[in-house]
Structure 1
Amino acid sequence: MKKTSISIDMEAEKLRALRFYTEKKETTLETELEDFLAKLYEKYVPAQTREYIESMEEPAEPPRPRTKRQPRTPVDTPTAVSEVVV
């Protein structure tokens, strides 16, 4: 499904502190916001509407069958030529 961006304003110092402390918890602000938005979506969008939207999603491509690779043939490398001083 196509994604879009949203934008909100926040005081710079508060945002910097928030990023600092989310990193200490080994996460990111973006991950936390995505999780929170998913919870809001579940809370406010009726189940039938969510089901309808999910049914409109493009099906995932089936995995392509793996083909056997032909073994590589060794590349002929020229032999080193020694310099002969006469």
Structure 2
Amino acid sequence: KSNLILRYGTEEILLTFKESELLEFFIRHKGKLLTREQILESLWGGNDYFAGRSLDVYISKLRKYLSRDPAVKIENRHGIGFIFKA
């Protein structure tokens, strides 16, 4: 796998490996409710406190990058997980 590049016009944002991995996971499951546990097990190999905090940080970063396109968003379902919409 390699790092993804997001392009907005002439601007390019190089994603880290983990950001790329998370965005690819969301894209593969577009429109589906993904629990935190599913994401953590798939990408971090477990669901502990530190992995959970890392997930929150990476989702925050992706939301910031994706905010330039109002049609693309990562929605939160409180206490359950996330839905990627595009």
Give the TM-score taking structure 1 as reference length: 0.28
Of Structure 1 and Structure 2, which has the larger fraction of its residues in strand?
Answer: 2
**Higher alpha-carbon Rg:** 1
Higher relative contact order (CA 8 A, sep 6+): 2
Give the TM-score taking structure 2 as reference length: 0.28
